[in-house]
Amino acid sequence: MIDATDWVRLLVVCLFFTAAAAATAWATGLTKPQPFLTAAARAVLQLAAVSAVITFVLTHLGLTGVFLAVMAIVATATSARRTETGRKGVWVAAAILVGPVPALGLLIAIGLLPVQGIALIPVGGILIGGAMTATTLSVRRALDTLKDRHGEYEAALALGFVEPAAARFLIRQPAAEALLPPLDQTRTVGLVTLPGAFVGMLLGGAPVWQAGALQIVVLLALLAVEVAAVATVVELVARGLIRRASQGSEVRLT
């Protein structure tokens, strides 16, 4: 059990890290402190809410499916807002879900992932979260590239390229930059980072080999999911299905 002293320490540490992030961003001119304060407050409230219901959800397979659907909806809404795509943002759902759905299906089909909430929710959350991040980053880079290099796009059309081919030619490499974080995470696992699934299983008493085996499966599945997300983004942007709702160039962090 956590006693009162531990709760106080926890609160102090959380406040310190939040204040440090906000103050550093403000002092160095990166952005306003408000996004960090808001994100920290939301994280606390959301984790508190999830902690209150997760035990009940994990024991009901139907509710587990609902929980995963909520994850996907929130991920889509977050990515659409961050990329400023408005109604067109509904298409980011395709990029976010094109990888996690078949990945979870495969893991279940071959018996590596039991059909239980305790397994489906954390693994599904990892895959959906990774796809969301890759989608957001690749959409932003792709749309920025189309805007900044519009002259090259027009030149490609003048040379006989059809519109999707001209767009793909310009945005493929910039969009692929979204894959650098997952690639580095996979390359350095065990040397720089010990991911959550591995540490969680160790703390839960699982053998080291079992924790390592699960973690490598999750890491490689995550890599495949994020590649699928970026490839889908390139195609959707090239076909004009994902576009910014406005032409404003301001970067929003709130």
- Give me the pLDDT at residue 61, please: 85
- Give me the pLDDT at residue 79, please: 93
In this structure, the answer to whether residues 27 and 67 fall within a common structural domain is no
Residue 245, in any domain of the structure:
no
| Domain count across the chain | 2
Residue 251, in any domain of the structure:
no
Residues 188, 194, 197, 203, Cα dihedral to 10°: 160
Contacts by residues 130-133 (CB-CB < 8 Å, ≥ 24 positions apart): 130/182, 130/222, 130/225, 130/226, 131/75, 131/95, 131/96, 131/97, 131/98, 131/99, 131/100, 131/225, 131/226, 131/228, 131/229, 132/75, 132/76, 132/78, 132/79, 132/96, 133/178, 133/181, 133/226
Domain boundary among 38, 58, 78: 58
Per residue of the chain (254 residues), what is the pLDDT tens digit? 567 787 788 889 999 999 999 999 999 998 899 999 999 999 989 888 888 888 788 778 888 999 999 999 999 999 999 988 877 778 999 999 999 999 999 999 998 888 888 888 889 999 999 999 999 999 999 999 988 888 888 888 888 778 888 888 899 999 999 999 999 988 888 777 766 666 665 556 666 766 677 778 888 999 999 999 999 999 999 998 988 876 544 444 44
Residue 24, in any domain of the structure:
yes
Residue 250, in any domain of the structure:
no
In this structure, the answer to whether residues 159 and 38 fall within a common structural domain is no
Domain that holds residue 84: 61-238
- Give me the pLDDT at residue 251, please: 42
- Give me the pLDDT at residue 248, please: 44
Residue 244, in any domain of the structure:
no
In this structure, the answer to whether residues 114 and 162 fall within a common structural domain is yes
Residue 248, in any domain of the structure:
no
Q: Give the domain CATH number at 126.
A: 1.20.1640
- Give me the pLDDT at residue 75, please: 95
